[in-house]
Structure 1
Amino acid sequence: MTTRITNRRGYLIALVVALLAALAVLALTLGGGPGPSDAQPPPARPVAVSPAPASEAQDAVAALPKSEPVSIDIPKIGAHSSLVPLGLNPDNTVQVPPVTTPLQAGWYTYAPTPGEVGPAVVLGHVDGNHQKGIFFRLKELAAGDRVTVARKDGSTALFEVTKVHQVPKKDFEAEGVYDDTADPELRLITCGGVFDRSAHNYVDNIVVYAHLVQG
Structure 2
Amino acid sequence: MRAYRLGRLLVAALAVAGLALVGAGATRLPVRPPQPDGTAAPHRTVPAPHLPPLPRAVPVEVRIPAIDVRAPLVSVAADAAGALEVPPLDRPAVAGWYRLGVSPGETGNAVLVGHVDSPAGPAVFFNLGRLRPGDTIEIVRTDARLVRFAVLGVEAYPKDRFPTDLVYGPGDAAGLRLITCGGRFDGDSGEYVDNLVVFASRAA
Same fold (TM over 0.5): yes
The superposition leaves residues 144-166 of structure 1 with CA deviations (integer Å, 9 ceiling, x where unpaired) of 00000000011111000011111
* Partner residue in 2 for 1:71: 61
Aligned pairs for 1:1-215 within 5 A: 1-7=10-16, 26-31=18-23, 33-34=25-26, 59=49, 61-173=51-163, 176-214=166-204
Deviation at 1:131, TM superposition (A): 1.3
Deviation at 1:178, TM superposition (A): 1.3
Deviation at 1:3, TM superposition (A): 1.4
Please give the alpha-carbon distance, in whole angstroms, between the structure 1 residues aligned to 2:201 and 2:48: 15
The alignment's C-alpha RMSD in Å is: 2.2
Deviation at 1:110, TM superposition (A): 1.1
The superposition leaves residues 17-41 of structure 1 with CA deviations (integer Å, 9 ceiling, x where unpaired) of xxxxxxxxx4333246529xxxxxx
Deviation at 1:69, TM superposition (A): 0.2
The superposition leaves residues 154-213 of structure 1 with CA deviations (integer Å, 9 ceiling, x where unpaired) of 111100001111111111146622121110000011000001122211001110000111
Deviation at 1:122, TM superposition (A): 0.5
Tell me if structure 2 keeps the 8 A contact 1:34–1:191. Answer: no
Normalised by the length of structure 1, the TM-score is 0.76
Q: Which runs of 5+ in 1 are unaligned?
A: 9-25, 36-51
- Letter of the 2:51 partner, please give it: V
Deviation at 1:91, TM superposition (A): 2.4
* Partner residue in 2 for 1:44: none
- Letter of the 1:194 partner, please give it: R
Tell me if structure 1 keeps the 8 A contact 2:76–2:85. Answer: yes
Query: Against the structure 1 CA distance between its residues 67 and 57, is the aligned structure 2 distance closer, same or farther, given a 3 Å change threshold?
Result: closer
- Letter of the 2:13 partner, please give it: R
Please give the alpha-carbon distance, in whole angstroms, between the structure 2 residues aligned to 1:117 and 1:129: 37
Q: Which runs of 5+ in 2 are unaligned?
A: 1-9, 28-44
Higher strand share: 2
Please give the secondary structure, in 2, of the residue aligned with 1:29.
strand
Please give the alpha-carbon distance, in whole angstroms, between the structure 1 residues aligned to 2:115 and 2:48: 37
Please give the secondary structure, in 2, of the residue aligned with 1:4.
strand
Tell me if structure 2 keeps the 8 A contact 1:72–1:83. Answer: yes
Normalised by the length of structure 2, the TM-score is 0.80
Aligned length, in residue pairs: 178
Higher helix share: 1
4+ residue runs of structure 1 moved beyond 4 angstroms? none
Tell me if structure 2 keeps the 8 A contact 1:5–1:177. Answer: no
Please give the secondary structure, in 2, of the residue aligned with 1:157.
strand
